[in-house]
Amino acid sequence: MTGAIVELRKATKKYAGVPAIEDIDFALLPGEIHTLVGENGAGKSTLTKVMAGVVSLTSGQMFIEGREVRPETPVQALHLGIAMVFQETSLVPTMTVAQNLFLGQERFFNRLRGIYIAAQQFLQSLQFDVDPTATVSLLGAAKKQMVEIARAVLHKAKVIIFDEPTASLTPEEKKYFFDLIFNLKARGVSVIFISHALEEALLVSDRITVLRDGKLVVTDHKENFDRARIVQAMVGRDMSQTLYGRRKTAMRPAGKRVLSIENLRMAAMVKNNSLSVFAGQITGVFGLVGSGRTETFKVAAGVIKRDIMYGGEVLLHDKPVRYLVPAPAVRDGIVYVTEDRKVEGFFETKSIADNIYLGLLAKLRGQRKLVSKREATEVGEQLIKRLSIRAIGKDVKAIELSGGNQQKLVIAKSLVQEPDVIIFDEPTRGVDVNAITEIHQLINRLADEGKAVVVISSYLPEVMALSDRILVCRMGKVVEEFSALEATEEKIMYAAIH
């Protein structure tokens, strides 16, 4: 596009061969506010990270003011005039505001008073009410955002990218933040703004781009959008027709209530959340990032702790439980299959059989005084067969497995514990199509066997294809429940956003 300050042509970025964004043509005009919207995993963050030099393109071209560039690091991107403000601020919390502003630009002889004065003058010129001598850790979310923005402007950024900037702001702080954005626009700075809040997108943007499954669906002026059109563009995917195309025509009847969560609170993430999970059913849990869905179930499984005072109740078979670590939860029959398998899921240098056996030992507590190699082999072989884990042999290390088989290993490690409640968090993230089908079959089988199954997923078609009932989370609590038969993608997304 002529006159674009940043332009991407046929931009593709692949992680381990899987495209996060594919063939994207994107243009940012000077002085415009451009909002990117899309589901989790749609490719918004990857697209902006490419521009900010955090990741490099696998193929395609990037132009700044008509000149082809290829920023390899954020510093290079900053020199080209592109700054990114991450959701979690990148400020040094123990330093003052002024020190953070001039970080990396220090002179040989630094005079603290000098940078305070310079910072004061600069912040005043931006009309930011921030004390330059204040320690960053003591600032609120909005003030931290201001410092981040000031730093970007100080570096003479022509483009500032905001990743979910309003997620942690109060309504007053949001209003102030939007004023800042308009202020930047008036200075001729272009802004890219990632948001899940469609009202915000419609309020502040000049143009809106909708991404879906790593592809650009539509870019248009905000006047041509309304909520319904954005939601339709966000969810109406073709890919779903292949893997998740069939709609549920029957749902399993609920068995006994196995797990209840009542008025659960956990810091700012979970706010008075209540829900029930029933035996013999798959309970799907959908929500956007920050909706508190993962944290709720991590508390139930003892992975993280709820608030110390008035943290609510978790009841297993109608008896209150409070787990400080996962081991007693596992012994009582609750397992959590993590979304981050590489960090939390397995020991990567141990064999498949050893990993599975470790799962069993966690369940048995002190009942095994000595580790039995033979038992480990037997248990390993049994689970490898049951879950069709494909490897050259059972002694293959976990790290040498494909993503799909690693995920099956994590599931096997949990199934060996014979749980009553199995919580799958993003069970098919980073998994190939065949493995997805197998994992889905396994999840369905577990529910048919009478287990209480929870599937937390950011991927709507997956939630809809698997779940008998769907809970939608927003702002730390369940806001809506749908049966599998009444749910539509639009209804679920609408509940997750509004």
Partner 1 sequence: MIAALRTWTDQLLGRGAAAITVPIFDGALKPNQILEQAETFAELEEPEDLATDGRSLFVADGACVLRYDGGAATTVAQVDRRITGLAVLSRGGLAVALDGTELRVIGGPHDGRNWTGVAGKPLNAANAICATADGRLLVTDGSQTQPCHRWCHDLMSLGRSGRLLELDLTDGSAREIVDGLVYAFGAVSAGKDVWVCESWAHRVVAYGEGKWGLPIVSRLPCYPSRLAPAANGGYWLTAFTCRTQLVEFVLRQKAYRTRMMKEIDPRYWIAPALTSGNTFLEPLQGAHLKMRGIHKPWAPPRSYGLVMRLSRDGQIQYSLHSRVDGKNHGVVGAVECQGTLFVLAKGRRRILKLPVAELERSLRP
Rule CB under 8 A: which residues touch partner 1? Answer: 251-257, 260, 262-263, 274-276, 278, 308-313, 315, 318, 320, 322, 469, 471, 478-479, 481, 483, 494-495, 498
Minimum distance from CB of 467 to partner 1 (Å)?
13
Judged by beta carbon, residue 245 or residue 320, the one nearer partner 1 is 320
Q: How is residue 339 written in tokens?
A: 């979304």
Q: Which three-class secondary structure string do you get for 390-402?
A: CCCCCCCEHHHCC
Which among 34, 315, 51 has a CA at the least distance from the CA of 185? 34
Minimum distance from CB of 324 to partner 1 (Å)?
13
Q: How far is CA 102 from CA 74, 82, 145, 146, in A?
A: 16, 17, 16, 14
Judged by beta carbon, residue 311 or residue 450, the one nearer partner 1 is 311
| Location of structure tokens 């197998």 | 438
Minimum distance from CB of 318 to partner 1 (Å)?
5
Q: Is 199 exposed, middle or buried (0-12, 13-18, 19+ CB in 10 A)?
A: exposed
Q: How is residue 12 written in tokens?
A: 């593709």
Judged by beta carbon, residue 354 or residue 489, the one nearer partner 1 is 489
Judged by beta carbon, residue 51 or residue 285, the one nearer partner 1 is 285
Minimum distance from CB of 254 to partner 1 (Å)?
5
Could you give the angle at the alpha carbon of 109 between the alpha carbons of 113 and 90, nearest 5°?
70
Minimum distance from CB of 490 to partner 1 (Å)?
13
Judged by beta carbon, residue 312 or residue 359, the one nearer partner 1 is 312
The alpha carbon of residue 110 and the mean position of all alpha carbons in its chain are separated, in whole angstroms, by 40
Minimum distance from CB of 481 to partner 1 (Å)?
5
Q: Could you give the CA distance from residue 321 to residue 300 in angstroms, rounded to a whole number?
A: 8
Q: Could you give the CA distance from residue 306 to residue 314 in angstroms, rounded to a whole number?
A: 10
Judged by beta carbon, residue 36 or residue 261, the one nearer partner 1 is 261
Which among 415, 376, 417, 414 has a CA at the least distance from the CA of 394? 376
Q: How is residue 270 written in tokens?
A: 């979970």
Judged by beta carbon, residue 178 or residue 278, the one nearer partner 1 is 278
Minimum distance from CB of 85 to partner 1 (Å)?
30
Judged by beta carbon, residue 31 or residue 255, the one nearer partner 1 is 255
Minimum distance from CB of 425 to partner 1 (Å)?
20
**Residue 65 dihedral angles phi and psi, to the nearest 5°:** 50, 45
What single DSSP character describes residue 340?
-
Minimum distance from CB of 278 to partner 1 (Å)?
6
Q: Could you give the CA distance from residue 265 to residue 274 in angstroms, rounded to a whole number?
A: 10
Strands (E), 16-131: 18-28, 33-37, 59-64, 67-69, 82-85
Judged by beta carbon, residue 313 or residue 348, the one nearer partner 1 is 313
Strands (E), 318-385: 319-321, 334-337
Minimum distance from CB of 335 to partner 1 (Å)?
21
Q: Give the residue ranges of DSSP H helices in 64-110.
A: 74-79, 97-101
Q: Could you give the CA distance from residue 24 to residue 175 in angstroms, rounded to a whole number?
A: 32
Judged by beta carbon, residue 257 or residue 350, the one nearer partner 1 is 257
**Residue 186 dihedral angles phi and psi, to the nearest 5°:** -60, -30
Which among 379, 381, 373 has a CA at the least distance from the CA of 359? 379
Judged by beta carbon, residue 255 or residue 430, the one nearer partner 1 is 255
Q: Is 9 exposed, middle or buried (0-12, 13-18, 19+ CB in 10 A)?
A: middle
Minimum distance from CB of 171 to partner 1 (Å)?
14
Judged by beta carbon, residue 37 or residue 264, the one nearer partner 1 is 264
Q: How far is CA 198 from CA 163, 210, 291, 332, 345, in A?
A: 14, 11, 15, 42, 35
Minimum distance from CB of 305 to partner 1 (Å)?
12
| Contact in structure between 336 and 423 (CB atoms under 8 Å) | yes
